[in-house]
Structure 1
Amino acid sequence: MKIKYLYKLLIVAFVAIQLVACSNNSDTEEKFEEGPTARTNAQSKKLDDLLLSSEYGWKAVYFTDNTQLGGYTHLFKFSPGGKVTMASDFDSDAKKYDSQYEIQLGSTVSVVFTTANRIHLLSDSDSYPIDDLKGQGYLGDFQFLFYGEDKGDIVFRTNRKFQELRFVKATAADWTNLPQNTIMEQNVIGANTRPLFRFLETSDGTTVRQFDFNFDVITRFATADPIATGFSESYNIGIGYSPTGIVVSPAIVIKEQALSEFVYNDADGSFTATGTNGVSATIKYSNKPLVLTDDYKILLKGQPITGFGYIASNLGNTSGNSLLCKTLLNEINASLPAAQKVNRIEFTFNDGGDSYIAYSFTGGKATLYHNVDVIEDAANKTLILKHISWQTATALVAEPVLLKKIDQELTNPKGLYIKRESFKLGGAPNAIYTFTSSSSSFRLATYAFQ
């Protein structure tokens, strides 16, 4: 009997243990399920509290892709109830606009700008700066994943490329001075009174190096290639504007010092970032290219026939044309009847021994030809186009007043720098050749036809 009793007791004990174990597992699972939810809710509240905590809101300089695009300053002022007031320097419109935002839960907590505002200009696939980004826009996001707080900044990662983006506390001056970013953009482009050529000069406190500097206003992107032979380092940087200068990304690193903030000097048009122990980087103007090419030689007498053409529909707005060039073209178009515009400016060299510039127009206006003699200035590596005569297709004519200013730039006695560029323009496969004045800020971009 005792054995049977003990056996029954063991069975009861075993069942009791199983019941307790099931109960404990149930509690554990419930706690496990509640844990992540509680933590997510806490993070959600933390982010919302942070967004609302800054008196003047937050500022972010958003480089959507610093391998091909520059940075865009955005200001955000968050209010209870999911309202956000926003402004940006995407274009000249620096006004404030209201919209809505939400804190959303997913794989992590994120802030999402749910109704259209300035930040959406960077994510609109129908608005793109260059043909290579057609259908992709400016590669921007309007959802940012929350990754915590660091020294007063809110740290996010972008939803699209998972790159870090920091919101720093804005000031009243940030809102007031935002329109000055557009003014600074014009300083980066450079006035007609400035030289056309630029270089980046770096110093590590001992060694000074120079790089040929080129800036594209459409993409806010710059390249700087070394001038010295045997030195291969170059810089490709996105540029953002500020009231006092520019911000670059990635930073220019010299002797382990990262230089990203450049201050503008209106006296000479330079931008300088200063480190310690003699480390610095400065973007400066030059009166001539730092690297002179022999690209002009294929245009000289005795060479095979060559042709180059500016086509307004493809190259009218390209950064390959200088501001002075665009200004002169606009002046010509403004003086013509509405249906007539400059259509093409074509250069033909060694056509049966003849060379000429042809100006053609829309609206039925006859093409005008300027016959020129081609002279080499070997010492300065320039090409001089010397006047011979003007004509239509059938007869000689006097110099057209309409074309005088732009033609004087192309036939200036100090000559033109001719350069085969490394980039393509207007979606065409043709090589790009630029015709640049050696005595002014005039530059015209053309397609090579051979």
Structure 2
Amino acid sequence: MTAAHIFTEQQEIKQVIMKKLIYIMLALFGFIAGCKKDEDPIFDDPDTRLAAALADHQAELLSASNGWKATIYPKGGKGFFYYFKFTADGKVTMLSDFNTTTATTPKESTYRLKALQRPTLIFDTYNYIHLIADPDANVSGGSNATGLTSDFEFAFTGSSGDSLKFEGTFNKNAMVMVKLSSAEEQNILGGGIKKILDESTLAVSGKILYIMLNNKQVPVSMSMTGKSFSIAGQSSSPFSFTLDGLELKTPVTYSGITFNKVYWNASGKYFYLLNGTTEIKIEISPSPLPLDITPALHTVIKTRWTSMRINVADLPDLSADFMTKYNTANASLGTYQNNAGRYIEYINILFNADGTVTFEIRYKNPASPSSYYLADFIYNMTLNTTTGIARFTLAAAPTGNANTIKSYVTALTDYFANNDFKIVYISAAAPAGSTVGGFLSQNDPSSFFYGILLQ
């Protein structure tokens, strides 16, 4: 065999091999193509998934034929009840326990669902849910610019049974919605939330409250305006109203007993707690009950606490006797300088290092709203270090502004000087997070005043 013949045969072998490779590759490509036709993609289109999720959530919102009850506890404090009823055309009707008007006047607005980072429910026109986020403090009851630091856009976070769970997209406030029964909806639409607002506020506002636990009177504080509940000044929670009581944001615990809710007895017009199945009625005391706190308040004035502020607008539990004296002095002050309308803004009690106490009245002239005046009445304090009972006598004749207005505010200054007071920590309605000090008259058990302790 010649070299030429050998080269030709090698070429033929290569051609055979190449043909086989081509056939194999064609078969492989055909197999892959067939797989692509027969199998779904591993990953769905993201837009398709989001559209499906939004459709599912829309169906959930519309599934509550009797509407939803919702609770929100803003970071700025308090708690709020809402009634929502959604329609397929993007409308929502609301009621709320924000005030008696919002509790009885249904208001319609719009909503939409949008795919942000998560499927999100957006209340996009102004309604009752926006009140608590309103940057005007006079509207929200919170702070200027931030309101109560609430939300009106909520991302879906989960569901359980008849409940839907959400998280605010901006302030991260939780919102829970629960389906209503037909009877609950009719009760709400019939003014049920307003009824409990009115009746319970009348029952407890300005009252000193307590419960009996282990044969002991335990102070209870319930602020209907501040929407906070506490036991013995130790365990507290914001609350929202419900048809049958107060829904606590977090359980409160005292003496090893945990309470999850405050119940309302509509026929008896009183609140109660449940220890298992045992009803514990919230009772009314004629005078404040001292809190069992060590060291006692009278031992740490001047050191731990240097003053106490009495702003009657923030302290709804002040005694009727004190408020009579306060209102008399305030009205009289308004007549100064031809009825110029001066008024008391608040009172500070200053615990001075030398043992004296300054009864400081801060008052204003409505003609100069940015200015204020201080009238300092200085008293000697005789304190029984065992009982915590103090007596106050005027240390010197008033000077300056105090001398100017002394004849107008005698109802207050005489009250301070003519009573012996027991100085104690008490449980009474005050802004959330405050420590409250009480001055309990020993001459009249029903007479007392209290304020927020300041360092």
Query: Is this a same-fold pair by TM over 0.5?
Result: yes
- Higher mean alpha-carbon deviation, 10-19 vs 112-121, is at 10-19
Letter in 1 for 2:392: L
1:98-151, CA deviations, whole angstroms, 9 ceiling, x for partnerless residues?
A: 2110122244333211111111223335546566xx654323222233355433
Letter in 1 for 2:297: D
Q: Which residue of 2 aligns with 1:322?
A: 318
Q: Does 1:21 align with 2:32?
A: yes
Contact kept? 2:375, 2:402, Cα under 8 Å: no
1:281-332, CA deviations, whole angstroms, 9 ceiling, x for partnerless residues?
A: 6544443423366433578xxx99x985758xxx453348737456754554
Letter in 2 for 1:51: L
Q: Does 1:90 align with 2:98?
A: yes
Q: Which residue of 1 aligns with 2:179?
A: 168
Task: Report the secondary structure of 2:150's partner residue.
Answer: coil
Q: Which residue of 1 aligns with 2:390?
A: 383
The verdict on how the C-alpha distance between 1:23 and 1:105 changes in structure 2, with shifts beyond 3 A counting, is: farther
Deviation at 1:45, TM superposition (A): 2.5
Whole-Å separation in 1 of the counterparts to 2:282 and 2:159: 34
Contact kept? 2:430, 2:452, Cα under 8 Å: no
Whole-Å separation in 2 of the counterparts to 1:328 and 1:394: 20
Whole-Å separation in 2 of the counterparts to 1:236 and 1:330: 31
Deviation at 1:440, TM superposition (A): 2.9
Task: Report the secondary structure of 1:274's partner residue.
Answer: strand
Q: Which residue of 2 aligns with 1:150?
A: 160
The verdict on how the C-alpha distance between 1:122 and 1:395 changes in structure 2, with shifts beyond 3 A counting, is: closer
Whole-Å separation in 2 of the counterparts to 1:269 and 1:211: 20
1:53-74, CA deviations, whole angstroms, 9 ceiling, x for partnerless residues?
A: 3343211122234xx7332001
Contact kept? 1:263, 1:273, Cα under 8 Å: yes
Q: Which residue of 2 aligns with 1:440?
A: 446
The verdict on how the C-alpha distance between 1:13 and 1:328 changes in structure 2, with shifts beyond 3 A counting, is: farther
Letter in 2 for 1:173: N
Whole-Å separation in 2 of the counterparts to 1:148 and 1:350: 56
Whole-Å separation in 2 of the counterparts to 1:310 and 1:112: 42
The verdict on how the C-alpha distance between 1:395 and 1:45 changes in structure 2, with shifts beyond 3 A counting, is: closer
Whole-Å separation in 1 of the counterparts to 2:326 and 2:352: 26
Q: TM-score, normalised by structure 2?
A: 0.70
Q: Which residue of 1 aligns with 2:62?
A: 52
Matches within 5 A, 1:25-424: 25=36, 30=41, 32-34=43-45, 37-65=47-75, 69-94=77-102, 95-125=105-135, 127=137, 135-147=145-157, 149-159=159-169, 160-161=171-172, 163=174, 165-169=176-180, 171-175=185-189, 176-183=191-198, 186-187=201-202, 190-192=204-206, 194-195=207-208, 198-199=209-210, 212-215=219-222, 219-225=226-232, 234-252=234-252, 259-264=259-264, 271-276=271-276, 278=278, 283-286=282-285, 287-291=287-291, 294-296=296-298, 308=307, 310=309, 315=311, 317-319=313-315, 322=318, 324=320, 329-330=326-327, 332-335=329-332, 336=334, 337-343=339-345, 345=347, 347=349, 357=359, 359=361, 361-363=363-365, 374-376=381-383, 380-385=387-392, 400=407, 402-403=408-409, 405-407=411-413, 409-411=415-417, 413-419=419-425
1:348-406, CA deviations, whole angstroms, 9 ceiling, x for partnerless residues?
A: 77899976746564449998787766454667532233689986669999994x54554
Contact kept? 2:356, 2:381, Cα under 8 Å: no
Letter in 2 for 1:240: S
The verdict on how the C-alpha distance between 1:265 and 1:177 changes in structure 2, with shifts beyond 3 A counting, is: closer
Deviation at 1:97, TM superposition (A): 1.7
The verdict on how the C-alpha distance between 1:329 and 1:16 changes in structure 2, with shifts beyond 3 A counting, is: farther
Task: Report the secondary structure of 1:13's partner residue.
Answer: helix
Whole-Å separation in 1 of the counterparts to 2:403 and 2:175: 65
Whole-Å separation in 2 of the counterparts to 1:225 and 1:3: 97
- Higher mean alpha-carbon deviation, 75-84 vs 280-289, is at 280-289
The verdict on how the C-alpha distance between 1:201 and 1:432 changes in structure 2, with shifts beyond 3 A counting, is: closer
Letter in 2 for 1:74: Y
Contact kept? 2:344, 2:361, Cα under 8 Å: yes
Q: TM-score, normalised by structure 1?
A: 0.70
The verdict on how the C-alpha distance between 1:354 and 1:186 changes in structure 2, with shifts beyond 3 A counting, is: same
The verdict on how the C-alpha distance between 1:53 and 1:367 changes in structure 2, with shifts beyond 3 A counting, is: closer
The verdict on how the C-alpha distance between 1:149 and 1:380 changes in structure 2, with shifts beyond 3 A counting, is: same
Gaps of 5+ in 1: 227-233
Letter in 2 for 1:186: T
Whole-Å separation in 2 of the counterparts to 1:383 and 1:42: 71
The alignment-based identity, stated in percent, is 17
Letter in 2 for 1:52: L
Contact kept? 2:165, 2:177, Cα under 8 Å: yes
Letter in 1 for 2:186: A
Task: Report the secondary structure of 1:33's partner residue.
Answer: coil
Gaps of 5+ in 2: 1-11
How many positions carry a matched residue from both structures?
Answer: 417
The verdict on how the C-alpha distance between 1:162 and 1:10 changes in structure 2, with shifts beyond 3 A counting, is: farther
Letter in 2 for 1:156: F
Please say which structure displays the higher CA radius of gyration: 2
Letter in 2 for 1:115: T
Whole-Å separation in 2 of the counterparts to 1:57 and 1:441: 47
